[in-house]
Amino acid sequence: MKPLSIHFGERIRKLRKDRGLSQDGFADLCGFDRTYISGIERGRRNPSLLAIEALAKALSVTVAELLDG
């Protein structure tokens, strides 16, 4: 079974790619550095609740929708 951080990162990557966003473009929308987004997508970073909210907003989904994947 994969760790939650890996599942979450895969969800972020899928939604980002579905929207045609590069990591750089997505990072700009979120107000984060590209390396932080990369770390989240690889499951190496555990974003705070405020960061999760920013990720959801940049992806035009609710936090619940982001976590429900």
> Tell me, what's the pLDDT at 29?
97
- pTM value is 0.93
For 35-45, letters b (16+ CB in 10 Å) and e give ebbebbbebeb
> Tell me, what's the pLDDT at 44?
97
CATH superfamily of 4-67: lambda repressor-like DNA-binding domains (1.10.260.40)
Per-residue pLDDT band for 69 (boundaries 50, 70, 90) equals low
Instruction: Tell me the CA distances in angstroms from 69 to 16, 25, 28, 33, 52, one per residue in order.
Output: 13, 22, 23, 24, 14
* pLDDT tens profile 10-51: 999 999 999 999 999 999 999 999 999 999 999 999 999 999
> Tell me, what's the pLDDT at 1?
85
Whether 56 has a pLDDT exceeding 90, the answer reads yes
